[in-house]
Amino acid sequence: MLTLATDDTGGPEIFASLQGEGPSQGKPCAFVRLSRCNLACVWCDTAYTWRFEGDNRPHRSELTYERKANQVALPEDEVARRIAALGQPRLVVTGGEPLLQAAALARMLALLPGVRVEIETNGTVAPPGALDALVAQYNVSPKLAHSGNTADLALPPDRLAAWAAEPRAAFKFVVAEPSDVDEVLALAERYAIPRARIWLMAEGTDTAALDAREAWLAPLCLEHGFTLSPRLHIRLYGDTRGT
């Protein structure tokens, strides 16, 4: 079984859209959003995947979500059937943290031969071999200090070193202040991450916030050789589920 997030109808959040972030931005994809996360970012825009009633981990909205209304468990073959029905050549597995359900995820992906699979991960969990063999691309988003997570949880050195050595891994950093770019530069230097594999994305869930931050982030990307990742889905659809 896989535990998925729900969309606005209460059904599993499985949908087709354009990839909004990172190296595949703008490409048509199927998406499946899994529930649960081992981190707690204060600005997380999918807190309904982890901040359930009774969870006191901080979030700027202070909202909590009813677990039964925001989680649904489905057999792997049913998830694969729904994804296949979308008819997309590329699948993005997102969350939450998808690698927390690696074994069930591997069983599901094995039912989708020919689909190019991307996994979006916070980079703290190692993919087991059975899953790794089915993945074409990892979109690794290590969480910086402004996320509110401690470095020992969010930036484990062994995992960052492993992702840096993985040619299928693209790094996507969420940036809220210019000083965050200094933290990215330090991580790139420490783990020898090529600048060409690093995307910087402004934190924000509305166009105004993105515009304001991208105004100073774009010149920093130019200066340091990083790629700017606009949040295309926010600009197209707003901060909504299933988009």
For the stretch 205-214, pLDDT in tens is: 999 999 999 9
pLDDT of residue 100: 98
Mean pLDDT of the residues in the chain: 97
Residue 187 lies in a domain: no
pLDDT of residue 121: 98
What is the model's pLDDT at position 226? 98
pLDDT tens digit sequence for 78-91: 999 999 999 999 99
**pLDDT-based confidence at residue 97 (cuts at 50, 70, 90):** very high
Tokens 């992702």 sit on residue: 163
Mean pLDDT confidence for 163-187? 98
Q: Is residue 216 part of a domain?
A: no
Boundaries of domain holding 119: 2-171
Please state the domain count of the chain. 1
CATH assignment at residue 93: 3.20.20
Q: Is residue 177 part of a domain?
A: no
Local confidence band at 63 (pLDDT 50, 70, 90 cut-offs): very high
Q: How far is CA 70 from the centre of its chain?
A: 18
**∠30-142-27 over CA atoms, to 5°?**
25
Q: Is residue 160 part of a domain?
A: yes
- Indicate whether 222 belongs to any domain: no
Instruction: State the angle between helix axes of 157-164 and 178-191 in degrees (0 to 180), rounded to the nearest 10.
Output: 80
In a domain, 221, yes or no: no
pLDDT computed for residue 102 by the predictor: 98
Residue showing tokens 């690698």: 99
- The answer to whether the predicted template modeling score (pTM) of the entire model surpasses 0.85 is yes
Q: Tell me the residue type at 76.
A: E
Structural domain contains residue 188: no
Omega prior to 114 cis, within 30 of 0: no
Beta bridge partners of 118: 92, 137
Answer yes or no: is 162 within a domain: yes
Q: What is the pLDDT of residue 213?
A: 98
Between CA 126 and CA 81, with CA 32 as vertex, the angle to 5 degrees is 110
pLDDT at 234: 95
